[in-house]
Amino acid sequence: MARDRNDDSSDTGRFDFAQMLAVADALPVALAFVDREFRYRFVNRALAEFLERSRGELLGLTMAEVLDPKAMADRRPMLDAALAGERQWFAADFDHPTRGPLAIQSEYLPQVGSDGNVFGLVLLISDVTEQRVSERALKESEARFRRIADSAPVPMWVTRLDRSRDFVNQAYVELMGVDAEQSRRIDWMRRVHPDDKAKVIEDTIAGEKSGGSFVTEARFERRPGDWRWMRAVSQPRFGPDGDLIGYIGVSTDITLAKQSEIELRTQVEERTAELQASEARVRAIFDTVLEVIVLLEPDGTILEINRVSTPWRDTNPERSLGGKIWDAPTMLAYPEHIPAMKAAVASAAKGEPFNGEFKMERAGVATAYLDYSIQPIRDDHGEIIYLLAEARDITDLKAAQEQLRQSQKMEALGQLTGGIAHDFNNLLTVVVGGLDMILRNVTDERLKRYATNALTAAERGARLTAQLLAFSRVQRLEVRATDVAPLIEGMRPLLGNVLGPSIVKKFKLHDERMPVMADPTQLELAVLNLAINARDAMPDGGKLTIATKAVQIVDDPELEDGDYLELCVNDTGTGMPPDVVARAFDPFFTTKEVGKGTGLGLSMVYGVARQSGGTARIDSAPGEGTTIKLYFKCADGDAEGELAKADVNASEPAIRNASILVIDDDPDVREFIVSSLGDYGYRVRAAADGVEGLEMFGKQRPDLVVLDYAMPGLSGGEVAAQILNAVPGQPILFVSGYSESEAISSAAPLAQMLAKPFRPDALDAAVREALGQGT
């Protein structure tokens, strides 16, 4: 019959209490079992001997009866935690009754029954007094070593075989300039001078291979820019078994000794006169870079020359050494400068420095401009021993200066144009207003027709002044929903005059109304610029086609996805090569002769398209004409109908009892405004300048101030500021030949703006809107 392996009746495998006790007594660790009242139920021999009591004496006693009260109180929190099921491990002092103070390491192991509850604790106790004494002795030894090492005036370190550092002293920390922890981790090879790294690695490999001590010397960067010569001595470090485990190193600062060595070497080298002269030449020539430098004898013989490469210079300048500078290949390529060069050398040889500008111009090479100088070099006695010639290429500087002059010219032209347009707007205000009054009051159809034609021409003049203001950059960009096709239709007469009879004009304009976000005046000016460029590209005549069509843009790198209007201007002119196409939109880039182009036309066209949320692109090739496409993002709403709006406003009844103060320095404009407002039934007073206007305002406050912005003396902005300071909220309507929207908004944020020229109806509508009665 088979037996169960746990059957106590089996002789083999039986393990009784006596055997367990023997095993427990054989353990070098003191062991006990206590119940939940901390009563000893089992102790092994090691624990009984440690407590110096018999096993029988201890069994049945509680820990509180065996230990002194303080020891029991210290251990009670750990005992309670162990009874709660948490294993406890700790080290504590123990006052032995005969052996005195000891260091004890204890471990409390909870014993859990089948019901899941802790029914007792196994106690493991070890005497670690000798270990604690050894550790303290080791720490004291290490502390003594550190104090000794930190007292040393030289950097010291201890490394492992992998070169990681176990220890660095205070001098090492100070050398590295970081804290001790970072000093141990820092890669000190990064501080070694680049010219010395290879030698350090070579010395280290050879030294470690030798198995003994070795020495390395190198420049070490103590602080940024502060290089010190250091001499490091490394000794092998062996472990208890005699194996190599690392190195112990000490370094010393040998900067002074090295400097002395270098100075001595320099003194020895300087005994050679030829070497000394060569060093002087090198210092004279190569201290300056990016310029052509030539060291000459006083008679013009070339001693040294640098190798700066430039398009106008000989490719092998050193072949001119030993010859006269005016016989050098570069000078022979530009013989017109040889007399000036000879005169310059002669002048410098007499002690008179030469400075001038050379234009290096010859076939097949780009023209360059040089700032050339020749300076005498004197010895300690004041004698001229060398001449130093320097040539600096100032071609880019000259180009920049030319661009600056062109920009200043364009700025002055813009200011002049803006001033003319402003005065012209004042004249057109009177003309447009007068013609409009004539149309209202005459019944003769022929006179009406004459007046209508004149009014149309005057309004064309108003559009022209708007273009002039846009050109002069005075008029602010006013992006709004604009219909392109009607705008271009209105430009047909102007384009016909610009292009002339030799160019066929063809228009393919999209019939469907597609308002886009653009400034109408800027857009007209852009189309005019493209037409002028096309005309210049077709000197013998040709065909210009202007077309619009709807396109949908998807995944374009420059444009957002959506619906766009494409405005295409195509000519049958000479076309452009790829390098010109690549730069066509760059400001100031032009292929036209000096005086015939500013290089701003296409850049302005590109800017108009980009500012309106679109872009511009060129398709051109020599002999195949040019196509320029402008893309404008379609507006969400309909185009604004300013004229219709003005007409609707004009049909509304006027405010008959409002008082208005008109301040304008132009007598004709002032008279037109006063008369027009009077015809509508307003009570009007007028002032010729800002000072008079402020006086009249102070005497009797009007319902509205109609104010010109650009006036001599006090400007409209200054007058408005004083009025609003005196009477906050005073209604003000600005009228101006410019479009100073930002300046007016700054001076009077709530003021209305009416641009000259305008008709009486538009003036009446603006007045009613300013008075709060507009639509």
- On the question of pLDDT at 76 being above 90, the answer is yes
Could you tell me where the beta strands, DSSP code E, fall in 326-418?
Answer: 354-362, 365-378, 384-393
Nearest to 193 by CA among 226, 162, 165, 160: 226
758: Cβ contacts below 8 Å, ≥ 6 apart: 429, 432, 433, 735, 766
For 447-477, what is each residue's pLDDT tens digit?
767 677 676 666 666 656 665 555 554 445 5
pLDDT band at 656 (very low <50, low <70, confident <90, very high): low
Note the pLDDT of residue 599.
Answer: 43
Mean pLDDT, rounded, for 128-154 = 69
Q: How big is the chain, counted in residues? A: 775
Nearest to 159 by CA among 207, 195, 223: 207
Averaged pLDDT score across all residues of the chain: 78
Note the pLDDT of residue 642.
Answer: 39
Q: Rounded to the nearest 5 degrees, what angle is found at the Cα of 520, between the Cα atoms of 468 and 498?
A: 55
Rounded CA-CA distance 595/413 in Å is: 14
More confident residue, 591 or 774: 591
- The helix or strand, by DSSP H or E, that contains position 283, with its residue range, turns out to be helix 273-286
Q: What is the DSSP letter of 629?
A: E
Note the pLDDT of residue 532.
Answer: 82
- On the question of pLDDT at 110 being above 90, the answer is yes
For 213-230, what is each residue's pLDDT tens digit?
888 888 888 888 888 888
Rounded CA-CA distance 271/591 in Å is: 62
More confident residue, 664 or 308: 664
**Helix pair angle (520-537, 601-611), 10° resolution:** 150
Write out the DSSP string of 424-474. HHHHHHHHHHHHHHHHHH---HHHHHHHHHHHHHHHHHHHHHHHHHHHTT-
As a whole number of Å, the CA-based R_g of the chain is 50
Rounded CA-CA distance 691/713 in Å is: 8
Which range in 35-44, 166-175, 656-665, 761-770 is most confidently predicted, on average pLDDT? 35-44
- On the question of pLDDT at 318 being above 80, the answer is no
Note the pLDDT of residue 151.
Answer: 66
Note the pLDDT of residue 685.
Answer: 93
- Per the CB < 8 A criterion, the answer to whether 593 and 539 are in contact is no
More confident residue, 453 or 483: 483
Mean pLDDT, rounded, for 362-372 = 82
pLDDT band at 653 (very low <50, low <70, confident <90, very high): very low
For 693-750, what is each residue's pLDDT tens digit?
999 998 999 999 999 887 888 888 889 889 999 999 899 998 876 655 566 667 777 7
- On the question of pLDDT at 568 being above 70, the answer is yes
For 217-269, what is each residue's pLDDT tens digit?
888 888 888 888 888 888 888 887 888 888 888 888 888 888 887 787 777 77
- On the question of pLDDT at 645 being above 70, the answer is no
Note the pLDDT of residue 88.
Answer: 93
pTM for this prediction:
0.37
Which range in 180-184, 352-356, 413-417, 431-435 is most confidently predicted, on average pLDDT? 352-356
Mean pLDDT, rounded, for 539-545 = 89
pLDDT band at 649 (very low <50, low <70, confident <90, very high): very low
